[in-house]
Structure 1
Amino acid sequence: MKNIFLGLTILMASITNLWSQDPDALLINTTNRKTTSLNGAWHYIVDPYENGYYDYRYQPFDQQEKPSRNAYFTNSKPNSPSDLIEYNFDEADTLQVPGDWNTQKEKLYYYEGTIWYKKSFDYTKTDAANRVFVYIGASNYKTEAYLNGKKLGTHIGGFTPFNFEVTDLSKEKDNFLIFKVDNKRSKEGVPTLNTDWWNYGGITRDVKLIETSPTFIQDYVVQLDADDTSLIKGEINLNGPSEENQKVLVEIPELKIKKQVTTDASGTASFEIKSRKIEYWSPENPKLYQVDLTLNGNTLSDRIGFRTITTKNDNILLNGKSIVLKGISLHEESPISKGRANSLEDAKKVLGWIKEMGGNYVRLSHYPHNEHIVKLADEMGILVWEENPVYWTIQWQNESTYANAENQLKELIQRDKNRASVIIWSMANETPVSDARNTFLTRLIETARNLDPTRLISAALEQTSSPDNPNVKIIDDPMADVVDVLSFNQYLGWYGGTPESCRTAEWHIEQNKPVIISEFGAGAKQGYHGDKNTRWTEEYQEYLYEETLAMLKKIPQLRGMSPWILVDFRSPRRPLANIQDDYNRKGLISEDGIKKKAFWTLQNFYSTWE
């Protein structure tokens, strides 16, 4: 068993060190703080040449002592009829936030580049001494943020949250918040140039103002001890001028727990609480407890489930009992609006389909999804695999690329470390073996384990054929010896052979670890019917599922699967007219929400698989 308390100490120590250097470190659990939404219509300007950011010598305006009034972030207006200002946000069109620009405006469907967003607002604090932050759930990919003409900072990464303190810049009247959002792909990026999903641009998740006391609870972790399941352990970290020797009250009312702790010089307080009455979280009983943390009369509440997740030989153990993960993979596309998913309604729809399928598990691929889905997974009892966007081939030897990947992983772990549903941190998907790649992924794994040793580590690897017999499939990857759960993608019958090929395949897996088949599948156009040997028909997809499931069930270590994929999703790699039409068609449900025949095949398999 792993030492959870050591892990909590390491996690909070690293976060404390981060805060001491960065006043804009992430606030967690923003849903239950005092917030003001800035969602809605934002004015926008499309800027493919980045004229609003660079002068004609290609020097950034925001690095100049006195920026030109034609720098878009200044939001300047003409002082006289002869004054030349070549933009006007207030006369510009609007986009809805949260939302991607690709599906809101037809002319922006394929656009990759810079768009500037502007939102005006008034804000009066409830107490003049309080602090104010602007929080962005996600914005793809590089975001430069400005308030009232002053730069707040830069964030890189399209799928994790970030925030900036604006206490000294915000006013009661006539604030203007401006974001430069650039979704251009780059070879140094994470992900890099080549992916198999749509590169949705824009402010894709909620934007809000958060008001706090001068000293407040910024972060906390509350989890069950893996060695003693009657023991709840946790740590709390404060942010502000009065961090030391502060009293924080920890309460779990349903367990009749009330404990006061005192912060040390770094603003950190740890605690241990014994209870023999804990109901453990599981898919069958997704029990969540209200946890209240109170500092100086201000209470921050959360709903937290208590469970353990470990492995032993080839078993995955949830609360000490073997479990089979009956799942599916999912991209973050809305089944309602057909753009980037960002709402609770989106999450309810897709997780409801997984429950209908008989599933207890979802692989969120290939990047962190929005917070609604992991919180709802807590409520519904669906286990979650979360993935860092290290996808296919990136610049393994580029140190800045590694730092980018590590930062996105840290932001994901910081956001979701208190979610009981999250059981696996995945480092990568389908990455080719090389010494540089092995070092890159090993470093990420070490970071994840140092931050959070309470969850399992995996990566979606690739299978190969034995050099002695092409029908024998093996996992020849050094990462197989490093991860906790051996996961791999296989597409026998689609990218190689036909469904009958599954009948002669043999799997020789030497690692004594639980196996999750992270992907398998076949494309099918919903409503296109024909012979089971005709590609793109629902019958071909159904046939492949039948043969693949029979093949995979023979793997002795098989403990889970997440076929590719729940719903058809957009991809510019999929241009086949009248079949794909910019969609990857491997979904078991069409983009219009209609189930294909293979949905029911998987449902039937899950109903009897133990």
Structure 2
Amino acid sequence: MKLRLVFSLMILLFTEIISAQQATRLNSNWQFLKQDIGGIWEAVRPVKAGNPEDVPLWTNVSLPHCVNATDAVDPDVNYYQGPAWYRTQLTIQNPYTNGRTLLHFEGAGQKTDVYVYDKKVASHIGGYDEFTIDITDAVEAFKKIDTFQNQFKGKIPVSIRTDNSRDLELIPSDLSDFNLYGGIYRYLNLVYVPAVSIDKVFAFAETDKMGKTGKVNIRTRFYNPAKQTTTAVTVKLFDPKGKLVHEFTKNVTIANDGVVIGDINVTKPMLWSTDQPQLYSIEVTAGEYKQTEKIGFRHFEFVEKGPFMLNGKRLLLRGTHRHEDHAGVGGAMTEEQMRTEMIMMKEMGVNFIRLGHYQQSRIILNLCDSLGIVVWEEIPWCRGGLGGNVYKEQARRMLTNMIEQHYNHASVIIWGLGNENDWPGDFPEFDKEKIRTFMKELNDLSHKLDPSRKTAIRRCDFCKDIVDVYSPSIWAGWYRGIYTEYKQVSEEEMKKVKHFLHVEWGGDSHAGRHSENPDNGLRNIKTGGGADERAGDASLIGGAARASKDGDWSESYICNLIDWHLKEQETMPWLTGTAQWPFKDFSTPVRPDNPVPYMNQKGVVERDFTKKESYYVFQSYWTAQPMVHIYGHSWPVRWGNEGEEKMIKVYSNCDEAELFVNGKSMGIKKRNSQDFPAAGLRWNVVLNKGNIDVKVIAKKGKIIVEDAIRFRYQTEKWSKPAKLLIEKVKEENGIITLEAKLLDDKNVQCLDATNWIRFGLTGDGELIDNQGTSSGSNYVQMYNGRAVISLKTNNGKSAVSAKVVGMPTVFINL
């Protein structure tokens, strides 16, 4: 809790500093239409209240908003890919004489057209880079239309069309393992600037390896539709405590390709690191316009066939991944949700993140800067092969925009040029040499735009010699082989390239599913054949034996897999680091048959931030603040024979822990990271039928932390499922939670049952479904013979049904 508070205060301070620029978020007073219209007139004609002829029908929404907020995980439909419309009426009051009025999009997908009244002002292609539309002239033209000016009562009608239709010449490919969302799913800002303003500030902060000296090079690009030739520029540099370090003013000639403002030398700069992310502020003022940027002094190095160095010291990159995706909102995450997610990562011990597979929100990059998380960010050239000139130009533009828009972030060390570019499918031609040629072009472009950062790709072996850093596909214990092969395979792959960084590892787990024997399904898996992912490996049918198909998808298995990887990483002195895939479960159109349909379930937290057990495995290896967690908080019933020994595991970063079962001490264990599983913090305990209370007390120095759980131990054996039971287990604040259980013909709970269950509702209530979580889906695979669903009562009466194929449907009246 203290750690969370510290980070929250850091971010609050950071947000206050960057919010000084004159911009207003346009969050409210929007209407939305999930279809196309016959023409722009249907969006802008004055609406008369209660007129039944006003069709189509628009709904009120707020921004950010995702077209696919729920249908991306609807088990019964394909998610919508097509045009959608947003409209509003703006009050424009630009305070500057001859000023410009801009709409600044932080991201919208995937193609965007902007209209002022009936005039199309501009278009943008690309769902992830920022773009700005100048609406000044269109607003002035509209004000001259007397007929309609009075009908809109002085406001300016703005309509925006987004379109995420399938398009082979658009990147990323629709073959990608994530949804290409539609909508204005990042913040949209109304910005006023004077006649001449700063478009971008490029502030390159560098330091020597030991951080004794620092220098900042400042360049600017002006937005200058007034064609002014000169302006005075004032630059101020503030240290992390807000103290003015340096200030100067100079007159510059405005050039279209930007202006070099000058250098600032800093003696013994406070360094940016993952433990102490010290951030300087640079303030650039030109005329009436002022822009403030955050920068950080740090020196990093990838040692050839060796570790990663930050500020002259080895830093093992302990990483994860992020998709822009969340329960109930799709891609339209709020700033508060983003902040929560990144703090959860930092509290798990993350110091590195790969932002997959596209440029992400500026809010995320700001959080990485302030929290101390090193970043690999990449363009969405993902799967599908290589398209034509339109395709290539989009990739060039996206790379340029990503680098320019996130150039100043101290956290960024790698620009990613692609992902799985060896994955054919979109085009009749798949030419490796043409892909290599274009990859070389992007690599050169990246180094030209930013010589200070490295380039990287993941999983395209025939291009691995082009980029600075390479990550092969290694999925030991999931798509190929067993997890004990991880270290050997990694070392073999490391020797093939100069700079090796392993991103994407782990496996799926169905939250709430646990196993007494999680490795049993792996006996037929072949070893020694590598650990890469191959075409078809993600399928749940066909092909060779593999954990992804033949395993039980339990949290128990994934905890073992992660535990093994983390203990091995501590014995690999040459390792730069790794990034587990991904932090949070996310939706995908290519996995309809997963236990939660259309969900990639490899996250250590669910799509709604609910932590899985594996979150605590990472904490036990990666964090310093004392923690302890007994495995099985979401495992209410364990099973076995009367008097059988069962392993109880504890994940902790403490030196020692003592376990108590039903009040009796089971002894003290010392932590040893190489003593698998659970770093030696495991007890074999004789269990008897009934409720079992487990408590652990762990010590780290003088600090004591505790954890406790209760579960029921079932000794009755069950046969095949014969009946379904549904009951209310909780009611709070108008939300009722129901649990369904599968029983055999003797009413014994079937604890290994994985049947599919379908929930339905009639009445006043509303199921909380299409969330993409194990407890927020109306069609889901059961976990240990049970499944949970919740509903809003809406202060009325409802009947909820539960259906499993081959059994009578059951109902509960509420």
TM-score class, shorter: 0.7 to 0.9
Three-state SS of the structure 1 residue aligned to 2:139 is coil
Residue 298 of structure 1 is matched in structure 2 by: 289
2:467 aligns with one of 474, 477, 483: 483
Residue 250 of structure 2 is matched in structure 1 by: 261
Residue 417 of structure 1 is matched in structure 2 by: 407
Task: Specify the code of the residue in structure 2 equivalent to 1:399.
Answer: N
- 1:575 Cα shift? 2.2
Taking structure 1 as reference, are residues 116 and 87 closer, same or farther at Cα in structure 2, changes over 3 Å only?
farther
Q: Distance in 2 between matches of 1:219 and 1:443?
A: 25
Three-state SS of the structure 1 residue aligned to 2:221 is strand
Matched, 1:311 2:302: yes
- 1:311 Cα shift? 2.8
Aligned 8 A contact 1:480 1:511 in 2: no
Three-state SS of the structure 2 residue aligned to 1:412 is helix
- 1:505 Cα shift? 4.6
The alignment's C-alpha RMSD in Å is 2.8
Aligned 8 A contact 1:513 1:557 in 2: no
Task: Specify the code of the residue in structure 1 equivalent to 2:481.
Answer: G
Q: For 1:387-426, what aligned pairs fall within 5 Å after superposition? A: 387-394=378-385, 396-426=386-416
Matched, 1:349 2:335: no
Q: Distance in 2 between matches of 1:276 and 1:213?
A: 36
Residue 518 of structure 1 is matched in structure 2 by: 503
Matched, 1:571 2:596: no
Three-state SS of the structure 1 residue aligned to 2:597 is coil
Q: Distance in 1 between matches of 2:234 and 2:484?
A: 62
Q: Indicate the structure with greater strand content.
A: 2
Three-state SS of the structure 2 residue aligned to 1:195 is coil
Q: Distance in 2 between matches of 1:279 and 1:148?
A: 51
Task: Specify the code of the residue in structure 1 equivalent to 2:410.
Answer: A
Taking structure 1 as reference, are residues 300 and 541 closer, same or farther at Cα in structure 2, changes over 3 Å only?
same
Residue 581 of structure 1 is matched in structure 2 by: 597
Q: For 1:174-323, what aligned pairs fall within 5 Å after superposition? A: 174-225=155-206, 229-240=213-224, 241=226, 243-253=228-238, 254-266=243-255, 268-313=259-304, 314-323=306-315
Residue 23 of structure 1 is matched in structure 2 by: none
Residue 609 of structure 2 is matched in structure 1 by: 593
- 1:109 Cα shift? 7.8
Residue 98 of structure 1 is matched in structure 2 by: 64
Three-state SS of the structure 1 residue aligned to 2:353 is strand
Residue 150 of structure 1 is matched in structure 2 by: 119
Aligned 8 A contact 1:309 1:456 in 2: no
Q: Distance in 2 between matches of 1:329 and 1:590?
A: 14
Three-state SS of the structure 1 residue aligned to 2:101 is strand
Moved more, 435-444 or 104-113: 104-113
Task: Report the number of matched residues.
Answer: 540
Residue 451 of structure 2 is matched in structure 1 by: 453
Question: Which has more radius of gyration?
Answer: 2
Aligned 8 A contact 1:327 1:354 in 2: no
- 1:243 Cα shift? 4.3
Task: Specify the code of the residue in structure 1 equivalent to 2:589.
Answer: P
Taking structure 1 as reference, are residues 547 and 319 closer, same or farther at Cα in structure 2, changes over 3 Å only?
closer
Task: Specify the code of the residue in structure 2 equivalent to 1:449.
Answer: H
- 1:72 Cα shift? 4.1
Residue 538 of structure 1 is matched in structure 2 by: 555
Taking structure 1 as reference, are residues 217 and 265 closer, same or farther at Cα in structure 2, changes over 3 Å only?
closer
Q: Distance in 1 between matches of 2:474 and 2:364?
A: 26
Taking structure 1 as reference, are residues 448 and 136 closer, same or farther at Cα in structure 2, changes over 3 Å only?
same
Residue 528 of structure 1 is matched in structure 2 by: 513
Unaligned runs of 5+ in 2: 1-16, 144-153, 424-431, 520-550, 624-652, 654-672, 674-814
Moved more, 512-521 or 112-121: 512-521
Moved more, 99-108 or 247-256: 99-108
- 1:503 Cα shift? 7.7
Aligned 8 A contact 1:309 1:455 in 2: no
Three-state SS of the structure 2 residue aligned to 1:374 is helix
Aligned 8 A contact 1:308 1:319 in 2: yes
Q: For 1:20-99, what aligned pairs fall within 5 Å after superposition? A: 31-47=19-35, 50-52=36-38, 70-72=39-41, 75-77=44-46, 92-99=58-65
More RCO (CA 8 Å, sep 6+):
1
Q: Distance in 2 between matches of 1:93 and 1:202?
A: 14
Unaligned runs of 5+ in 1: 1-28, 53-69, 463-476
Matched, 1:359 2:376: no
Q: Distance in 2 between matches of 1:513 and 1:359?
A: 25
Residue 362 of structure 2 is matched in structure 1 by: 371
1:460-494: CA deviation from partner (whole Å, max 9, x where unpaired):
125xxxxxxxxxxxxxx243222222223321211
Q: Distance in 2 between matches of 1:203 and 1:451?
A: 28
1:331 aligns with one of 302, 323, 326: 323
Three-state SS of the structure 1 residue aligned to 2:137 is coil
Three-state SS of the structure 1 residue aligned to 2:434 is helix
1:402-453: CA deviation from partner (whole Å, max 9, x where unpaired):
1111111111112111111111111111221811211122111111111111
Aligned 8 A contact 2:43 2:87 in 1: no
Q: Distance in 1 between matches of 2:134 and 2:593?
A: 47
Q: Distance in 2 between matches of 1:155 and 1:364?
A: 22
Matched, 1:496 2:494: no
Taking structure 1 as reference, are residues 265 and 214 closer, same or farther at Cα in structure 2, changes over 3 Å only?
closer
TM-score, scaled to structure 1: 0.82
Residue 151 of structure 2 is matched in structure 1 by: none
Identity of aligned residues (%): 26
TM-score, scaled to structure 2: 0.62
Taking structure 1 as reference, are residues 127 and 502 closer, same or farther at Cα in structure 2, changes over 3 Å only?
closer
Aligned 8 A contact 1:567 1:589 in 2: yes
Three-state SS of the structure 1 residue aligned to 2:464 is helix
Aligned 8 A contact 1:524 1:538 in 2: yes
Three-state SS of the structure 2 residue aligned to 1:291 is strand
Q: Distance in 1 between matches of 2:296 and 2:207?
A: 14
- 1:556 Cα shift? 5.7
Aligned 8 A contact 1:514 1:558 in 2: no
Taking structure 1 as reference, are residues 590 and 296 closer, same or farther at Cα in structure 2, changes over 3 Å only?
same
Residue 757 of structure 2 is matched in structure 1 by: none
